[in-house]
C-alpha cells in the first residue's frame, strides 16, 4: 500500500518540535533552493496512503514515517491518521504556507491540505504535534460545489497571500474540465474560484 504513495510524500519542517518558521525566524520555508539544501535532512515524512482499487473497505490514512537514521524507529510508520470516510482517494497534498510566504514572519507551516479526488472532500491536518498529527477540519464537497461549481480536487498549494489554491479536474456534472481553481482562505473556508470568468486555463493539470 505504501509503495504507491511516494509521489504524495510531504516532508516536515527541519526544526525540533514545531513547523512554524524557517531559518532566521522569517517566514516558513527557505529563501532559495541552496538554503534548503544546506540544512539537516528531515526527520519525518508524511505519506498519504489510499485503498482505492484494493477491494478493501477502509478509510485512507496519513502515515507518519520516521526517517531519522539515529532513531530507534527509523524507517518505520510511527503513526496512522485515518480519515472519517471510505472511498475518498487522497491525492496531492500541500502545506497551508510555504516558501511563497518566506518574507512573512507571521506565517506558519502547520496545516497539511489533503484533497480527495473521488469524494471531493478536502481534509486539513494539524501537524503541531509532528509525530502525531490530527484532523483539524473537513471541507465538504457540497460547500465547494455550491460556491464554485468545482469538483474532483487534485493538488493543493499555498499562496503568498495566505490563501490555499486547489486545482480541480471537473465540474458538478462530472465533466472533465481541468480549468478550475478553488481558493480556501487562511481558516480553510471556501473563498471562491481563483480564475476570472472567461480566463480559465485550458490545461489545469499543468498546475503544481
Give 63-92 pLDDT, tens digit per residue.
999 999 999 999 999 999 999 999 999 999
Q: 105 lies in a domain?
A: yes
User: Would you state the torsion angle of the CA atoms of residues 7, 95, 194, 173, taken in this order, to the nearest 10 degrees?
Assistant: 50
Q: Three-class SS of residue 180?
A: strand
Q: What is the pLDDT of residue 73?
A: 97
Sequence-ordered list of residues with C-beta below 8 angstroms from that of 114, at least 6 positions apart, any chain: 48, 62, 83, 90, 91, 93, 122, 123, 124, 125, 156
Q: 99 lies in a domain?
A: yes
Please check whether residue 124 is in contact with residue 111, taking contact to mean a CB–CB distance below 8 angstroms: yes
Give 13-29 pLDDT, tens digit per residue.
444 444 444 344 577 77
Q: 206 lies in a domain?
A: no
Look up the domain containing 20 and give its range: 2-198
Q: 207 lies in a domain?
A: no
Strand partners, 49: 61
Q: 60 lies in a domain?
A: yes
Helix or strand (DSSP H, E) at 153:
strand 150-158
pLDDT per residue, tens digit, the chain (208 aa), is 322 223 334 444 444 444 444 344 577 778 888 888 888 889 999 999 999 989 999 999 999 999 999 999 999 999 999 999 999 999 999 999 877 667 777 778 899 999 999 999 999 999 999 999 999 999 999 999 999 999 999 999 999 888 999 999 888 888 877 778 999 999 999 999 988 776 666 666 566 6
Q: What is the pLDDT of residue 202?
A: 62
Nearest to 101 by CA among 14, 183, 22: 22
Number of domains in the chain: 1
Q: 82 lies in a domain?
A: yes
Strand partners, 115: 122
Q: 111 lies in a domain?
A: yes
Amino acid at each position: 500500500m505504501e509503495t504507491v504513495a511516494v509521489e504524495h510524500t510531504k516532508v516536515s519542517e527541519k526544526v525540533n518540535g514545531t513547523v512554524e518558521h524557517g531559518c532566521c525566524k522569517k517566514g516558513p520555508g527557505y529563501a532559495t533552493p541552496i538554503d534548503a539544501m544546506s540544512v539537516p535532512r528531515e526527520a519525518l515524512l508524511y505519506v498519504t496512503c489510499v485503498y482505492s482499487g484494493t477491494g478493501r473497505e477502509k478509510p485512507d490514512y496519513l502515515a507518519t514515517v520516521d526517517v531519522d537514521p539515529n532513531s530507534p524507529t527509523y524507517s518505520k510508520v510511527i503513526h496512522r491518521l485515518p480519515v472519517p470516510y471510505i472511498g475518498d482517494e487522497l491525492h496531492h497534498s500541500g502545506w497551508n504556507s510555504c516558501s511563497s510566504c518566506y518574507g512573512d514572519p507571521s506565517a506558519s507551516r502547520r496545516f497539511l491540505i489533503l484533497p480527495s479526488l473521488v469524494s471531493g472532500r478536502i481534509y486539513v491536518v494539524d501537524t503541531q504535534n509532528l509525530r502525531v498529527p490530527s484532523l483539524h477540519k473537513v471541507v465538504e464537497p457540497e460547500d465547494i460545489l455550491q460556491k464554485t461549481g468545482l469538483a474532483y480536487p487534485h493538488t493543493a498549494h499555498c499562496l503568498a497571500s495566505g490563501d490555499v489554491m486547489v486545482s480541480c479536474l471537473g465540474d458538478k456534472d462530472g465533466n472533465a474540465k481541468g480549468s478550475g481553481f478553488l481558493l480556501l482562505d487562511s481558516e480553510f473556508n471556501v473563498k471562491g474560484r481563483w480564475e476570472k470568468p472567461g480566463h480559465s486555463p485550458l490545461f489545469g493539470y499543468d498546475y503544481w
